[in-house]
Chains A and B, each alone.
Chain A
Amino acid sequence: MSYEVMVGNKAAATAVKLAKVQVASAFPITPQTTITQYLSEMYAEGSWDFDFVNVEGELSSQVVVQAASRVGARTFTCTSGPGLLYMHHPMQGTGSGRLPVVMAVVHRGYKGMQPDHSDLMSQQWTGWGHQYVEHAQEVLDSLLMAYKVAEDPRIRIPIAVGYDGYVLSYTAEPVEIPDQALVDSWLPPNKPIPSILPDEVDPSTFARGWGGGDPQMPWKIHHEAILKIEDVLKETMDSFEKTFGRRYGNGMIETYMMDDAECAIVAMGTIAGTCKAAVEKMQKEGKKVGLIKLRSFIPFPYNDFKEWAKKLDGFAIVDRSICPGKGGPAFGKIRDALYDMEERPKLLQFHAGLGGKEVRTHDFEMIGDKILNYVKGGKEDQITWV
């Protein structure tokens, strides 16, 4: 174990090294760019058997890792905003192919280059697991856990780990680097299922083509496999803590100062860190509001929100992305999760940090005050643009 002060992008590259990824491919795009440089340096050093393919566009980088994963290699790719939109088409095939690709998405919005979550949020239909993380240590740890979960024979689903550009990708923090030997024993090599090698392949797949069977069945199987990530992620978080001594809630959500809380602010990514500071301040002032950090957006932690809803009077849900004309995605999913409950907590919707707009601790204090007032019967707007 060692410590190093590093930027978020180096933490991602360090995870690639620790996971002994065999084939990585990426195309540089701000604010992901330096990952491609770190990976190129690692390739040049040759400290492990690693191949990095400098492709001519993001679409190709997704297809390269898709094909390499199908053959059985452990793979990695990374991108940001427009690059993610460009690889949308092949992402479907990586999902449907049940290929355990791991991808870092360094968030960049569409309207300008600053971070928000609209890039990864726009990929909800591609059949991947989606996670949102807060700081550089969590980037490194989450990518390692993503391999463990994605390659689990019960899952075999690609996972995207999203973290905010600039504020995390280019900001240095102290990061604990786990021992290689420990990672090696915790994360065994990937085993392809099924094999595509000519001497191992199942000949019944030769004539695979159009038609046959229930066309809806692959969707059902895919959906059910993604739902299974919940249990495997929770299990993986336990084994990660046992091995490396760190954990991030139960993997699906991470709670902060929720013991005596009456209301929760729900936030994702780096602004959840800002919210932690606000919650500390508010609780010192006797305001009973805590933080629920939403880590896994797909699968969505329905069960965790139902459990917390029993104990809480209100949720203030902060979305750093918006589907124009439809609203905040996390708000919609949480309201969806609570519908079947007899007694439902009150909800307020907040749009914050879009287009990289800064979100400060006093913004979260305002959000906390609003939800506390609202649950006591005070009048508040249903939707607030922070």
Chain B
Amino acid sequence: MSERITRPQIPMSEMTITPGSACQGCGAALAARLAFKALGPNVIRHGIPCCPDSVTKTPRAGSVFEGGGAMLTGTSRALKALGRTDVKAVAFFGDGGTYDIGFQGLSGAAERNENVFVITKDNEAYMNTGNQRSSATPKYSRTSTTPIGPKSRGKDTPKKNIPFIFAAHYVPYVATASVGYPEDLIAKVNYAKDIEGFKMLIIQAPCPVGWRFDPAKTIEIARSGVQTGVWPLMEIEHGETFKLNYKPKELKPVSEYLKPQARFRHMTDAEVSDVQEFTTNRWESLVKSDESGRIII
């Protein structure tokens, strides 16, 4: 498990080149800035179609949208063949390339326990093409393909539990992080980068344009996601060992997270209660897992 760090331990050197091409208040650009700081220069960054969140001072490999896992595999195997295992094959993918179109290849890479590091900036919809729903979109969220109308209340199913799905591949390391908790995010990158085998970090990256909130509030939204238990910060090793990294005595009500985001503005009190119940139940099970140190589903 990662070791806690303090803010002064965050590296000063920047790997991202500014100005980037991201929107104001982009959570994904911040996720890239933090993650690549911790990774340092000796990486090949792998990209597939996603928001153009950032440009980093690293060589860059690209391939087809559905090919992320295989691309990392090829790079990692070739680096081994050439005796260059000092170089790390790192992905910076979106939720589409992780949860959906890229899922098969990533599942294959995880099952083969390829020596790769997958970092996902999860902004909970296909933001690059204009906020269409993905399987990372939470229930009731309004997107351009789940509009609100007499027959639709937004997305009608919950967000896919991707950390647990990848943990079920028994890979060395799966964790979640949030741009609202940079020390935790960097600590996890520091820990994961030197693990041999498949490691994955899913970073929740609020998107002011798609989630529809004031771009100045990105960090507030990210923090409230964690504090309400909607986006729990956790680590899972070998599909078994479990740790919650943020565990308040009491969770804040989910309405604090939902209210400032216009994507949830249409929600009725009953729908908010539905999300609250789902979140509370899930949180209780995570706390049990954390207390026993092992996943209890």
> Measuring CB to CB, which residues of chain A are less than 8 angstroms from any residue of chain B?
22-23, 25, 49, 51, 53-57, 59-73, 75, 89-90, 93, 196-199, 201, 203, 205-210
Q: Is B12 an interface residue when CB atoms closer than 8 A count as contact? A: no
Is there an interface contact between A72 and B82, defined as CB atoms closer than 8 Å? yes
B62 surroundings in chain A (CB, below 8 A): 93
Q: A56-B107, A206-B59 are in contact. Are A67 and B70 (CB under 8 A)?
A: yes
Which of A22, A61, A196, A198 has the largest number of chain B CB atoms within 10 A? A198
Contact flags B66-82 to A (C-beta < 8 A → 1, else 0): 11011111110111111
Which among B56, B64, B78 is the interface contact of A63 at CB below 8 angstroms? B64
Complex Cα–Cα for A328 and B212 (A): 55
Is there an interface contact between A56 and B104, defined as CB atoms closer than 8 Å? yes
Which among B59, B72, B73 is the interface contact of A197 at CB below 8 angstroms? B59
Complex Cα–Cα for A53 and B73 (A): 8
Is there an interface contact between B70 and A63, defined as CB atoms closer than 8 Å? yes
Q: Smallest CB–CB gap between B119 and chain A, Å? A: 17
Contact flags B92-115 to A (C-beta < 8 A → 1, else 0): 000000000000110110011000
Is there an interface contact between B75 and A68, defined as CB atoms closer than 8 Å? yes
Q: Is B148 an interface residue when CB atoms closer than 8 A count as contact? A: no
Known: A25-B74, A60-B104, A73-B77. 9 other contacts (CB 8 A): A25-B73, A62-B70, A66-B63, A71-B79, A73-B81, A90-B63, A197-B87, A206-B17, A209-B21
Complex Cα–Cα for A63 and B109 (A): 12
Complex Cα–Cα for A60 and B105 (A): 6
Is there an interface contact between A63 and B44, defined as CB atoms closer than 8 Å? no
B247 surroundings in chain A (CB, below 8 A): none
Which among A56, A65, A206 is the interface contact of B57 at CB below 8 angstroms? A206
Which among A56, A73, A205 is the interface contact of B78 at CB below 8 angstroms? A73
Q: Smallest CB–CB gap between B100 and chain A, Å? A: 15
Is there an interface contact between A67 and B78, defined as CB atoms closer than 8 Å? yes
Q: Is B253 an interface residue when CB atoms closer than 8 A count as contact? A: no
Q: Smallest CB–CB gap between B187 and chain A, Å? A: 24
Is there an interface contact between B67 and A63, defined as CB atoms closer than 8 Å? yes
Which among A25, A71, A210 is the interface contact of B75 at CB below 8 angstroms? A71
- B40-61 contacts to A (CB < 8 Å): 41-44, 52, 55-61
Provide a sorted-by-A list of 11 A–B residue pairs whose CB atoms are within 8 angstroms.
A53-B73, A59-B64, A60-B69, A66-B67, A72-B78, A89-B64, A196-B44, A205-B59, A209-B21, A209-B55, A210-B52
A203 surroundings in chain B (CB, below 8 A): 57
Q: Smallest CB–CB gap between A219 and chain B, Å? A: 18
Complex Cα–Cα for A55 and B42 (A): 27
Which among B44, B71, B74, B84 is the interface contact of A23 at CB below 8 angstroms? B74
Is there an interface contact between B41 and A67, defined as CB atoms closer than 8 Å? no
A72 surroundings in chain B (CB, below 8 A): 78, 82
Is there an interface contact between A198 and B108, defined as CB atoms closer than 8 Å? no
B70 surroundings in chain A (CB, below 8 A): 25, 55, 59-64, 67
Closest to A54 in B: B112
Is there an interface contact between A68 and B42, defined as CB atoms closer than 8 Å? no
Which of A23, A208, A209 has the largest number of chain B CB atoms within 10 A? A23
Q: Smallest CB–CB gap between B42 and chain A, Å? A: 5
Is there an interface contact between A208 and B60, defined as CB atoms closer than 8 Å? yes
Is there an interface contact between A56 and B105, defined as CB atoms closer than 8 Å? yes
B74 surroundings in chain A (CB, below 8 A): 23, 25, 53, 63-71, 75
Complex Cα–Cα for A145 and B44 (A): 31
Q: A23-B78, A68-B81 are in contact. Are A60 and B108 (CB under 8 A)?
A: yes
